[in-house]
Amino acid sequence: MRYPQLSPVRHNNLFLRGFMILFFSCITIRLNLCISSIPSSLKTLPLEGHFNFDELNYAARDFGNRYQYHPMAVLQPKSVSDIAATIRHIWRMGPSSQLTVAARGHGHSLHGQSQAHGGVVINMKSITVPEMKVYTGSFPYIDVSGGELWINILRESLRYGLAPRSWTDYLHLTVGGTLSNAGISGQAFRHGPQISNVEQMEIVTGKGEIINCSREQNGELFHSVLGGLGQFGIITRARIILEPAPAMVKWIRVLYTDFTAFTSDQERLISAENTFDFIEGFVMINRTGLLNNWRSSFNPQDPVQASQFKSDGKTLYCLELAKYFNLDETNVVNQEVQNHLSHLSYISSTLFLTEVTYVDFLDRVHVSEVKLRSKGLWDVPHPWLNLFIPKSKIHNFAEEVFGNILRETSNGPVLLYAVNKSKWDNRTSVVIPEEDIFYLVAFLTSAVPSSNGSDGLEHILTQNKRILEYCERAHLGVKQYLPHYTTQEEWQAHFGPQWEVFLQRKSVYDPLAILAPGQRIFHKTISFS
């Protein structure tokens, strides 16, 4: 029997095909063996805490409620050493493991930034020691864990008659989370963001090193981490500046129909000394019955005039002000407030006031959270969009966005308030506009599940896209706060001239790109040059 002869070309093709099959089979087997060995290697680490490999669902969700990336494991650390040992172990495994690490505090990120697909999520609230410690004296401060909630810091510092100077509107967030972004609220015009009010930090880098840093000691790491989106290290401890805490707050709301008057008053107030302690604004489009809704919490200064005010679905701008005081200062503070208000151009019939405790004022958003949770409206998608807009462009922005793109604000507040750039440290990693005054504009919308209308997720995302496209088309010089991009090219455009510094810092403190993969800035094994 004669067998057909194979041509040399066909013989070579068959040989090459067989070789490739064998080659890729070996790679697959090796990769599978490598992946399967990862849990075993993590289990052998000598830790005070432990890994959880089964109950992982909560670590694959966040406040944005739009992205779900399951980790391989969740670390429940009992000490900073547990965090360092885990990262150091992954660092020593090299780039082939593909393991990444995300620190998760309260899980209030919007786009999966606290998630690590197939990696390790560290539950920062699991650290139990050391406890918070307040230091009194001429320059008081408090030392806290990176996983501590700001509401707990407030309660502890108040025991000594002290409190931090700068806040976020929502206090049930962790120190590490807000310092990795900026941490801003209505006090930022005076004291700057929270990253301007921290003196020291303890950091675990992407190599698993535990490093103490301040402006004077390891200053490059200190400034890198502040506003660094978790890219250079995990904040495990921070020293927060304190000041004497007031007992009460005089809380005021006034309305404008004229945007120029609204912004001019804000800019005048944040540039003057000794006016208000808190200044924020928000926008309301196509809303009615506003003043009646406020009456449960605020009292109109002139009830008769207030009852005659009709919003008629107009676009309204609310200026929200607060003056802190102690009870023995009531008369003086009342006179000061009246004097400051007399220089503003709001609609006189819309002056609403109330007095609350300092704690109730700072924790005001939590009251809304409790109500929304009771109605099942808290754990819904939150397609938020936060922008920093230069003062010179805010009128252009308002005309297009509030005049054409945004039709109503019924499914979440739209914040708009001015900030002084001089209160921000340009050595940190956060990106802000170049002008001396810029505005935060925050679209804090909540999507109604299964809705196809204006309150549905797709409609809101389309609206956000239109806003961003307009900003780019009009060259407004806008920068995103809590930024979200999907490509490194977009991130490079976001950072602009700061990109090279950001890249250099990454190569020093997290060269394998192990940390915070959910930001989607770098991918593990990226080559830095």
Q: Is 313 left (phi over 0), alpha (psi -120 to 50) or beta?
A: left
Cβ pair 507, 501 in contact under 8 A: no
> Using the 8-state DSSP alphabet, how is residue 405 labeled?
I
Mark 371-380 as b/e (b = at least 16 C-beta within 10 Å): eeeeeeebeb
Q: Please tell me the predicted confidence (pLDDT) of residue 33.
A: 40
pLDDT confidence of residue 297: 82
pLDDT value, residue 270: 98
Token pair listed for 237: 């401890």
Report the pLDDT value the prediction gives residue 10, as an integer from 0 to 100: 45
The whole-angstrom separation of Cα 205 and Cα 74 is 19
Q: Given this model, what pLDDT does residue 510 score?
A: 98
Query: Which candidate in 48, 89, 117, 169 is catalytic?
Result: 169
Q: Tens-of-pLDDT digits for all 529 residues of the chain?
A: 433 343 444 445 544 455 444 444 444 444 444 445 577 889 999 999 999 999 899 999 999 999 999 999 999 999 999 999 999 999 999 988 889 999 999 999 999 999 999 999 999 999 986 789 999 999 999 999 999 999 999 999 999 999 999 999 999 999 999 999 999 999 999 999 999 999 999 999 999 999 999 999 999 999 999 999 999 999 999 999 999 999 999 999 999 999 999 999 999 999 999 999 999 999 999 887 777 778 778 988 888 888 888 888 889 999 999 999 999 999 999 999 999 999 999 999 999 999 999 999 999 999 989 988 998 889 999 999 999 999 999 999 999 999 999 988 888 999 999 999 999 999 999 999 999 999 999 999 999 998 999 999 999 999 999 999 999 999 999 999 999 999 999 999 999 999 999 999 999 999 999 999 999 999 986 545 4
At residue 101, the pLDDT reads: 98
Residue 3 is predicted with a pLDDT of 36
Cβ–Cβ < 8 Å for 309, 291 = yes
How much is the pTM?
A: 0.91
Q: How many CB atoms sit inside 10 A of residue 215's CB? A: 13
Q: Which of 106, 108, 223, 459 is catalytic?
A: 108
Catalytic one among 280, 320, 363, 510? 280
Place of tokens 């931090």: 164
Check if 108 is active-site: yes
Matching residue, tokens 């410690």: 133
Residues facing residue 240 across a β-bridge = 142, 198
pLDDT score recorded for residue 1: 40
The gap between the terminal CA atoms of the chain, to the nearest Å, is 64
Unique residue bearing structure tokens 């700057």: 192
Residue 35, class by beta-carbon neighbours within 10 Å (0-12 exposed, 13-18 middle, 19+ buried)?
middle
**Residue among 478, 404, 406, 472 at smallest CA distance from 439:** 478
pLDDT score, position 6: 39
Tokens matching residue 451? 């809705």
Residue 284 half-sphere exposure toward CB, CA atoms < 13 A: 19
> Residue 502: its pLDDT value, please?
98
How distant, in Å, are the alpha carbons of 9, 58, 139, 146, 157 from that of 200?
69, 31, 14, 12, 17
380 in helix, strand or coil?
Answer: coil
Q: What is the predicted pLDDT for the residue at 525? A: 67
Interatomic CA distance for residues 132 and 175, integer angstroms: 12
The answer to whether 133 touches 227, Cβ cutoff 8 Å, is no
